[in-house]
A and B are shown apart, each in its own frame.
Chain A
Amino acid sequence: MYVSASRAADGAVPRPRLSWAVPGNVFALGAVSLVTDISSEMVTAVLPLYLTLSLGLSPLQFGLLDGLSFGVTALVRLAGGNLADRWQRRKLIAGIGYGLSALCKPALPAAGGSVVALGAVIAVDRIGKGLRTAPRDALISLSAPAGELGQAFGVHRAMDTVGALLGPLVAFAVLTGTGGAYDAVFVVSFCVAVLGVLLLVMYVRDRRTPLSVPRPATSSRAALGLLRDAAFRRVCVVAAVLGLVTVGDAFVYLLLQRRGGIDAVYFPLLSIGTAAVYLLLAVPVGRLADRLGRAPVFLAGHVALVAAYLVLLGPGWLVAVLVLHGTFYAATDGVLMAVAGPMLPEHLRTSGLALLQTGQATTRLLSSVLFGAVWTMYGSTQGLAVMAAGLAACVLGAWFAMRRYM
């Protein structure tokens, strides 16, 4: 952790020496995410093996299970965000999300070989994830001083990524130690998930500011009304449009594997490379965003992505692409929440963040379809060139759109 002895010299709020540089609540939320990600990535890592080798499902059946319910998740995310605002109980809604996903872990082996039951469990797990994201980010944005949001989100995302990297290691330690008992992996994952819920319950405080009288509107119509705010609307449009010209991770790794001639064995390492860079850069880039402005850093992250595409199109250097790709995540994922958070009134913050995240997720899904189509019609190089040009143009457009708010 970062010990801020010189904080008072920055002219920021003076704090006692040796205070945590990030507020306790953000650290607690980071710990919840770290532990929860260990739990969920444990399952993600062994699920394909379990479903196919242990239960004998075919890859196609596995694909059907996996491609479930994007639409449901999006709706749940919006509805959950709005409920959190209506009741002003973000911790409760996030807790329900974490709890639902925890309960799914022992339900997986209980579902046995039934594809229908397995599909239902996986869908509930996704719903849990959809429920918790927006209230969690709203809590982070409400827990740190406005001037330090970039760093707060950076710390949270770094801790989250540590969990994601540890999960598969824990899973395979359990699998090796028990001689291949998948149910043991699910039970351990469940225990870890329960610990995450306990950390949330015991250490995360909700910001339950009494709503002023008369009570401000928190209906879903009021949530949509957020888009009438010019600044927030621009952020939503910019995020959505940039999402449309962002090539999905899986495509990036596939192209990298092909262009770089990487041995098939090392293919899964590519996403770990991106995650490692993200982990290392999330905090420093978040701090940089606080100092230089978050919107410029957010756009600079997309410039890094354009650069990654260009390297992929050109020499195809492995390390350069992964570093640029990880930098893109460090400069955009948490930073976008830090850009939008302060624009949203506290009583509608969860709804607003849910709206922003859902918009971005939707256009990214569309982008996959779009990119797949361009690839099919013109080939992979042309497809990537089109996306790189589109992304560069959109970053430029976004610069003009957001300039006023930087």
Chain B
Amino acid sequence: MNPIRRLPVLLAAVAVLGGTAAGYAAWATRRDPVPVPVAAADGGVLRPGRLMFRTATGQVAGVPLGDTAALPAAAGPVCSRFSTAGGTSICLVAKPGALVSTDAVILDRSMRETRRIRLAGIPNRAGMSQSGRMASWTVFVTGDSYNEGGFSTWTGILDTRTGYAVTNMEDIPLTLNGRRHHAVDVNYWGVTFAADDNRFYATLATGGKTYLVEGDYANWRVRALRENAECPSLSPDGTRLVFKKRVSADPRRMWRLHMLELSTMRETPLAETTSVDDQVAWLDGRTVMYAKGPDVWSVPADGSGAPAPLVRGASSPVVVR
């Protein structure tokens, strides 16, 4: 067959392949998404005593704390990650495009947008200090690490009172094992602020290890406290952290939630034995909640009891206090 004679074969192949691709895409477009029942917004959505979360479609919704099986009431925009405290909310919105990017959107008490920060990468974590002043987030960017095609995290902090935003805190002076530490592979993620809006905790990764760090926002410095503690979440009274600890190399059993008593630095494994990859939120002073599979679960923060489902088809849970 000479090249000209092959042309009809090629054209036929292009037609078949193009048809297959277009047909599948059309079918995928029309495929029914699983409907998520959400009641219309009822105004004053950020009332204390409500549990807010993302529904399966990403919409922010809420239920009364006393009746978490109630029909969720829509409360805001579609987010990939959400948190709220003190009347201020943060919503990370993924924007797929030829360049994947994320917007960190700050919302006021009536869920109106007050600030939008454009970021590169994929949404990962979002947090808000109890007063609603300090917003923090983590996105991760691929192909920006020396191991070609690896990932790196970019963690940012916004002081909503001054409007000052840091989009990548990697340059913060770091003390590790008592010495100043410089490294190209420093990554931070999962920030949690204390009630004074200055002290914070976060995860640091460098040299293939992760550390829990304590930060001082005003003096802009962090120091590593201990190894192997990721995505810390500070209790409402500021005395305990619940974090995920790496306990296995097997990706299916990688993490176990632990509680760290800050005064004694003693850690206790929680009763949840399934590997949980989330930055937990505190349901109350004694219980944490987290996404496990498609649902939000809760477990006592002291190692006692047993995990229990809290809200079906939800993630990014947060209590309005």
Which A residues lie at the B interface, using CB under 8 A?
Answer: 24, 45-46, 48-49, 52-53, 56-64, 66-67, 115-116, 168-169, 171-172, 174-181, 183-184, 187-188, 191-192, 194-195, 198-199, 202-203, 248-251, 253-254, 263-269, 271, 368-369, 371-372, 375-376, 379-380, 383
Tell me which of B147, B154, B182, B183 contacts A264 (CB under 8 A). Answer: B154
Asked whether, in the complex, the Cβ of A251 is within 8 Å of the Cβ of B146, the reply is: yes
Give chain A nearest CB distance to B95 CB in angstroms. 10
Knowing that A66-B147, A249-B148, A376-B183 touch, tell me 16 more A-B residue pairs with CB under 8 angstroms.
A49-B94, A53-B94, A60-B254, A174-B25, A178-B25, A178-B29, A183-B24, A194-B17, A203-B3, A248-B146, A264-B120, A264-B141, A265-B119, A265-B120, A268-B143, A375-B182
Asked whether, in the complex, the Cβ of A61 is within 8 Å of the Cβ of B254, the reply is: yes
Give chain B nearest CB distance to A162 CB in angstroms. 15
Q: In this assembly, does B247 line the interface, its C-beta being within 8 Å of a C-beta of chain A?
A: no
Asked whether, in the complex, the Cβ of B100 is within 8 Å of the Cβ of A250, the reply is: no
Give chain B nearest CB distance to A348 CB in angstroms. 29
Q: In this assembly, does B43 line the interface, its C-beta being within 8 Å of a C-beta of chain A?
A: no
Determine the chain B residues whose CB is within 8 A of the CB of A264 once the complex forms.
118-121, 141, 154, 167-168
Tell me which of A24, A171, A175, A265 contacts B101 (CB under 8 A). Answer: A265
Tell me which of B3, B6, B31, B100 contacts A48 (CB under 8 A). Answer: B100
Whether A372 touches B151, Cβ cut-off 8 Å, given contacts A198-B10, A264-B167, is no
Determine the chain A residues whose CB is within 8 A of the CB of B159 once the complex forms.
none
Question: What is the CA–CA distance of A85 and B234 in the complex, to the nearest angstrom?
Answer: 62
Question: What is the CA–CA distance of A199 and B9 in the complex, to the nearest angstrom?
Answer: 10
Most buried by B among A191, A192, A266: A191
Question: What is the CA–CA distance of A249 and B25 in the complex, to the nearest angstrom?
Answer: 35
Asked whether, in the complex, the Cβ of A175 is within 8 Å of the Cβ of B251, the reply is: no
Q: What are 11 residue pairs bridging A and B, where the CB atoms are less than 8 Å apart in the complex?
A: A45-B100, A62-B151, A184-B29, A192-B17, A198-B10, A202-B6, A202-B10, A248-B148, A253-B144, A268-B99, A380-B184
B interface, size bucket? 35 or more
Determine the chain B residues whose CB is within 8 A of the CB of A67 once the complex forms.
147, 149-150
Give chain A nearest CB distance to B312 CB in angstroms. 16
Chain B, Cβ-Cβ closest to A249: B148
Whether A181 touches B142, Cβ cut-off 8 Å, given contacts A115-B251, A372-B184, is no
Question: What is the CA–CA distance of A376 and B18 in the complex, to the nearest angstrom?
Answer: 50
Whether A250 touches B146, Cβ cut-off 8 Å, given contacts A53-B80, A376-B182, is yes
Residues B238-292 near A (CB distance < 8 A): 251-252, 254, 277, 291
Determine the chain A residues whose CB is within 8 A of the CB of B277 once the complex forms.
56-58, 61
Q: In this assembly, does B84 line the interface, its C-beta being within 8 Å of a C-beta of chain A?
A: no
Asked whether, in the complex, the Cβ of B151 is within 8 Å of the Cβ of A368, the reply is: no
Question: What is the CA–CA distance of A269 and B101 in the complex, to the nearest angstrom?
Answer: 12
Give chain B nearest CB distance to A323 CB in angstroms. 21
By secondary structure, the A interface counts as: helix
Question: What is the CA–CA distance of A24 and B2 in the complex, to the nearest angstrom?
Answer: 12
Question: What is the CA–CA distance of A177 and B9 in the complex, to the nearest angstrom?
Answer: 29
Determine the chain B residues whose CB is within 8 A of the CB of A188 once the complex forms.
21, 24-25
Give chain A nearest CB distance to B11 CB in angstroms. 11
Q: In this assembly, does B124 line the interface, its C-beta being within 8 Å of a C-beta of chain A?
A: yes
Q: In this assembly, does B35 line the interface, its C-beta being within 8 Å of a C-beta of chain A?
A: no
Residues B114-154 near A (CB distance < 8 A): 118-124, 140-151, 153-154
Q: In this assembly, does B28 line the interface, its C-beta being within 8 Å of a C-beta of chain A?
A: yes
Q: In this assembly, does B295 line the interface, its C-beta being within 8 Å of a C-beta of chain A?
A: no
Q: In this assembly, does B163 line the interface, its C-beta being within 8 Å of a C-beta of chain A?
A: no
Q: In this assembly, does B96 line the interface, its C-beta being within 8 Å of a C-beta of chain A?
A: yes
Question: What is the CA–CA distance of A63 and B1 in the complex, to the nearest angstrom?
Answer: 47
Determine the chain A residues whose CB is within 8 A of the CB of B168 once the complex forms.
264
Question: What is the CA–CA distance of A62 and B142 in the complex, to the nearest angstrom?
Answer: 10
Tell me which of A53, A56, A63, A371 contacts B146 (CB under 8 A). Answer: A371
Q: In this assembly, does B66 line the interface, its C-beta being within 8 Å of a C-beta of chain A?
A: no
Question: What is the CA–CA distance of A88 and B185 in the complex, to the nearest angstrom?
Answer: 45
